[in-house]
Amino acid sequence: MNAVIPQPRQATRTAATAGPRTTGAWRVHSADTRLMDLTATVHALLAPHLGDRLQPLGASPDPDAATLTLALDDAAAPGFPAPVGIAPTGEAEPVDESYRLTVGPQGIACRAATPAGAFRAAATALHLLGTSGDHIPCQELVDAPHFAWRGLLVDPARGYLTPGELRTLIDLAALYKLNVLHLHLTDNEGWRLEIPGVPELTAPAPDGTPRAFYTTGDYRELQAYAAERFVTLVPEIDLPGHCATLREALPGLPPAPAPEGLTGRFPFVPPLDLADPATAKAVATILDDVCRLTDGPFVHIGGDEAVGATEGSFVRSIRELRSLVRGFGKRPLGWQESSRAGIGPEDIAQFWVDVPMMDLPDTAEELAARPELLAAGQTVEFIAALKAFFAPTDRDLARILDGGGRVLLSPQSHLYLDRAYAPQVVPTGQASTAARLGFPTYRPLGVEHAARWDPASHGIPDDRVAGVEATVFAESVTSLDDVTTLLLPRLPSVAAAAWTGRAPDWDDHRTRLAHHGRLWEQRGLAYLASTEIAWAGATDAPSTP
């Protein structure tokens, strides 16, 4: 077998003889001048895995080196149906990412009708090189994605990641054929993007401490780096709630009108009131700059958990945020709650929660059986209030579909990868790390749980699905290692479902995953060596190289 993830649609053994050696010298080559930049990108992606066995670009060919060849060839396109969903690059029709990969005695040929397809083939070649033992069997793989939008949300607002660390995550996304990196750039804990028109947002703290943020130059460079890997960056400016850092930077902005009886009962940051002229002006300046700095067609406006705003205030805010983004030349999307401000065929709403999905107890007896909730200080009264606040989420999905909108699937139940790992799947050496990671009120679960998610389980017609997006929010993280430990080994299963349109077969998938630990180690990525997986080459694989 091969250990490629996602599993290709077609895999055919083409000869009984052994193919090229994985342990010898390799070079990356294309005779097509249109692929020169892509050749350099593929070379960089392979470098951590091949080291000095990878010939420098432009060097005299080693006659003993195997070759990874990139080629554009319309005849190589397999002719599968076009992917469903929204193209993150904004085209009316998603780019053709299909490819045909052939392993022969002298190397690997990656052929596709587009550079994007050739790059997806190269990612598959990397999996073969890293997981096939001493020789790669001669074979042909033919593949294409099911969903056009395949994303990963990361949260530098709460857990800052340097530009270099974001590049590491872009490479990880590309390794598993994801094509969107959604940046949650603002929240109560931090504001991470320089806004030239509102410099107060990233000015030093009152005590003079510099704030961590991305300059406009950083942001442009990250977008260029991602684009080279056929990944689109989608920035999120989360409003009108989650706005503590904006309020700190611009003191005096009035709170949104609050529902009767809520004020003072529970702690929350008052959402913004976009009916206030000063607030509306500041938000317009922010979104103008964000839209101007963003190369891609989408800007995420947030719209979730606006605790403390009346329905009328929330609706007005969402409509104003959408209008501003459209006026500045971008396409808005928001969390599912934004559908309550009205939704039409041009709108995308990111579905993340309903009350059953929250998996919360109803009684004191049920709460007593949930140690993670007790440790987080939850009470029956607070949980009842939480359920009441989230009760409208039970209608959001139907509201989106009834209005003609498109659904970006990010269900908390399976695709929120900031969920703690179940203790029974954590190896002894990683128990202390696993115990501090994960959102404290989610029930801890294993890798198999995430891998069994089926996009079709929500009953949404394919033509109404915008795409699939995993999330890793950062309430518990302090480093890149923490982020990748939450992501790995769960992210590849989400990527598999997004690429193929269905849940991977668990027994087959964990057999494939068993060979990917070495890929992560070669890239310097920490991961959770779940006991659900018989890691290749070790009984208790290390979490770091």
Residues 99-153 have pLDDT tens digits of 999 999 999 999 999 999 999 999 999 999 999 989 999 999 999 999 999 999 9
DSSP 200: G
5 vs 513: CA distance, rounded Å: 8
> Considering the domain 10-143, what is its CATH architecture?
2-Layer Sandwich (3.30)
3-state SS class at 70:
strand
| pLDDT class of 542 with cuts at 50, 70, 90 | very low
Q: What is the pLDDT of residue 78?
A: 84
pLDDT of residue 155: 98
Distance CA 159, CA 161 (A): 6
What value does the mean pLDDT of the chain take? Answer: 94
In angstroms, rounded to a whole number, what is the distance separating the alpha carbons of residues 329 and 333? 13
Sign for the pseudo-dihedral over CA of 415, 420, 425, 429: positive
Cα angle, residue 207 at apex, residues 203 and 209 outer, rounded to 5°: 55
Segment 83-89 mean pLDDT = 96
CB of 257 closer than 8 Å to CB of 295: no
pLDDT in tens, 284-296: 999 999 999 999 9
Cα separation values, 529 from 85, 130, 426, 447, 536, Å: 34, 18, 7, 10, 11
pLDDT of residue 263: 63
* Interval 209-232 mean pLDDT: 98
Cα 544 from Cα 526, distance rounded (Å)? 5
Other Cβ atoms within 10 Å of 280 Cβ, number: 16
Determine the average pLDDT of the residues in 191-206.
Answer: 96
Q: At residue 333, does pLDDT exceed 70? A: yes
Residue percentage of the chain with pLDDT more than 70: 97
150-522: what fold? Answer: TIM Barrel (3.20.20)
Residue range 296-324: mean pLDDT, rounded: 96
Give me the pLDDT at residue 59, please. Answer: 87
Distant-in-sequence, close-in-space partners of 488: CB < 8 Å, separation ≥ 6:
520, 525, 526, 527, 528
pTM listed for this prediction = 0.96
Confidence tier at 543 by pLDDT (50, 70, 90): very low
Given this model, what pLDDT does residue 303 score?
Answer: 97
346-395 tens-digit pLDDT: 999 999 999 999 999 999 999 999 999 999 899 999 899 889 889 999 99
Q: What is the pLDDT of residue 541?
A: 40
Whether residue 66 is predicted with pLDDT greater than 60 in this model: the reply is: yes
d(C-alpha 385, C-alpha 113), whole Å: 54
Q: 235 is written with which tokens?
A: 């920035």
* Mean pLDDT confidence for 33-42: 97
Residue 540: is its pLDDT beyond 50?
A: no
What confidence score (pLDDT) does residue 268 get?
Answer: 80
- H or E element in which residue 323 lies: helix 311-327
Query: Which residue did the predictor score with more confidence, 492 or 92?
Result: 492
> Mean pLDDT, to the nearest integer, of 214-234?
98
54: enclosing H helix or E strand: none
Sign of the dihedral through C-alpha 214, 219, 221, 224: positive
Q: Is the CB of residue 77 less than 8 Å from the CB of residue 125?
A: no
Q: Is the pLDDT of residue 169 over 80?
A: yes
Handedness of CA 469, 475, 479, 484 (dihedral sign): negative
pLDDT score at 45: 97
Residue 266 is predicted with a pLDDT of: 58
Residue 72's pLDDT band (boundaries 50, 70, 90)? very high
Percentage with pLDDT > 90 across the chain: 88
Which H/E stretch holds residue 507? helix 506-513
**Ranges of CATH 3.20.20.80 domains, the chain:** 150-522
Residue intervals of the chain classified under CATH 3.30.379.10 are 10-143
Over the stretch 501-511, which tens digit does the pLDDT of each residue have? 999 999 999 99
pLDDT digits (tens, 9 = 90+) for 387-440: 988 999 999 999 999 999 999 999 999 999 999 999 999 999 999 999 999 999
- For residue 345, whether the previous peptide bond is cis, meaning omega lies within 30 degrees of 0, is no
> 98 in the Ramachandran plot: left (φ > 0), alpha (ψ -120 to 50) or beta?
beta
User: What is the reported pLDDT for 539?
Assistant: 36
CB-based contact 271:314 (threshold 8 Å): yes
Higher pLDDT residue, 252 or 541? Answer: 252
pLDDT-derived band at 258, boundaries 50, 70, 90: confident
What pLDDT is attached to residue 1?
A: 61
8 Å CB contact between 293 and 219: yes
